[in-house]
């Protein structure tokens, strides 16, 4: 896959479809590589007339790793927040939003439809907030606003999230990945064990870097509450969330939609916190709905 320089770092990305179409930029979540966006979803969006780009965030996959920043002090970060003080993370989610915009710059793309999942939804929100001239539309998937009053995930889901993959132990990392996805996956759309193991093995062999996930987690926690900034957005937005998400409960999606003017909320019964192939059409429909609203608004100008 190709790489470009973006915001002072190297970003690994993959592009689908003709370059002369409107672009959908897919932003992945915590510790997950670009490969977690199903190829089937990318192909589906291309079949609907778009160019699609997926990429590795900083500190994951084959993009730049911030080895010199070390392991974040999560105790200090949580302590600062509880004391009402600014939390210091190795880098900010806002910088990760700049990475996304820098990728668009490197590829000569002036504007794109931004779609993000989980942490990627937060980054997508920040692209729209901080760089409104670059975002045609926003699709926030299985994400939230940073509102501290939104319910937390189920204990077993949070435990999986906070337990890092073992450093350098490929077989153990694969088993940990299987446990994680089976814990947070969609109860109504289970991915069969053989397919899931293929996906997990692919990603562990591609890149195993748990400390990067920890630094991304620190960025999420330190970013805080985005609601007041979301209220100022003025672009077409669709919020897609699983009604049975055990990691980021559906209240996170509802809060996101409630704080983005004109946002459409789509709740999916049986959907958890993953990307089952049975829901490729559902993901594509949500992203396309936001994109079509943007096209309609542009035509009406």
pLDDT of the residue at 301: 67
- Site of tokens 């490729």: 280
pLDDT of the residue at 116: 98
pLDDT of the residue at 270: 98
pLDDT of the residue at 74: 81
Q: Tell me which residues of the chain have a pLDDT lower than 50.
A: none
The residues with which 55 forms a beta bridge, in sequence order, are: 13
Q: Are 18 and 45 in contact (CB under 8 A)?
A: no
Share of the chain residues as helix, strand and coil, in percent rounded to the nearest 5: 45, 15, 40
pLDDT of the residue at 178: 96
* Tens of pLDDT, residues 206-241: 999 999 999 999 999 999 999 999 999 999 999 999
- Site of tokens 């289970």: 190
Instruction: Compute the distance between CA of residue 1 and CA of residue 13 in angstroms, rounded to an integer.
Output: 6
Instruction: Compute the distance between CA of residue 211 and CA of residue 207 in angstroms, rounded to an integer.
Output: 12
- Site of tokens 């829901």: 279
Distances (CA, A) of 227 to 176, 230, 256: 34, 5, 8
DSSP structural state of residue 201: H
Structure tokens at 296: 């309609």
Of 189, 87, 100, the C-alpha closest to 138 is 100
pTM of the model: 0.96
* Tens of pLDDT, residues 99-136: 999 999 999 999 999 999 999 999 999 999 999 999 99
Of 85, 122, 128, the C-alpha closest to 104 is 128
DSSP structural state of residue 56: P
């Amino acid at each position: 896959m190709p790489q470009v320089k973006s915001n002072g770092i190297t970003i690994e990305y993959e592009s689908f479809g003709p370059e002369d179409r409107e672009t959908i930029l897919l932003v992945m979540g915590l510790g997950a590589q670009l490969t977690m966006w199903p190829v089937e979803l990318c192909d589906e969006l291309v079949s609907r007339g778009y160019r699609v780009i997926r990429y590795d965030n900083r500190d994951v996959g084959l993009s730049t790793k911030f080895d010199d920043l070390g392991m974040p002090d999560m105790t200090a970060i949580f302590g600062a927040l509880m004391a009402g003080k600014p939390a210091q993370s190795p880098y900010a989610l806002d910088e990760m939003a700049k990475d996304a915009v820098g990728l668009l710059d490197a590829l000569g793309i002036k504007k794109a439809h931004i779609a993000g999942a989980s942490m990627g939804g937060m980054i997508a929100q920040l692209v729209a907030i901080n760089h409104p001239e670059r975002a045609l539309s926003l699709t926030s998937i299985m994400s939230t606003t940073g509102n501290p009053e939104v319910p937390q995930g189920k204990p077993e889901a949070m435990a999986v999230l906070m337990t890092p993959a073992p450093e350098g132990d490929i077989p153990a990392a694969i088993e940990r990945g299987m446990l994680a996805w089976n814990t947070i996956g969609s109860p109504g759309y289970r991915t069969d064990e053989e397919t899931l193991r293929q996906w997990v093995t692919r990603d562990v062999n591609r890149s195993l870097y748990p400390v990067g996930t920890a630094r991304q987690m620190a960025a999420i926690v330190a970013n805080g509450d985005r609601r007041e900034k979301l209220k100022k957005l003025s672009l077409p937005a669709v919020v897609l969330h699983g009604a049975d998400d055990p990691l980021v409960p559906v209240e996170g999606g509802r809060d996101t939609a409630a704080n983005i003017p004109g946002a459409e909320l789509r709740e999916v019964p049986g959907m958890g916190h993953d990307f089952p192939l049975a829901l490729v059409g559902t993901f594509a429909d949500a992203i396309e709905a936001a994109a079509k609203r943007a096209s309609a608004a542009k035509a009406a100008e």
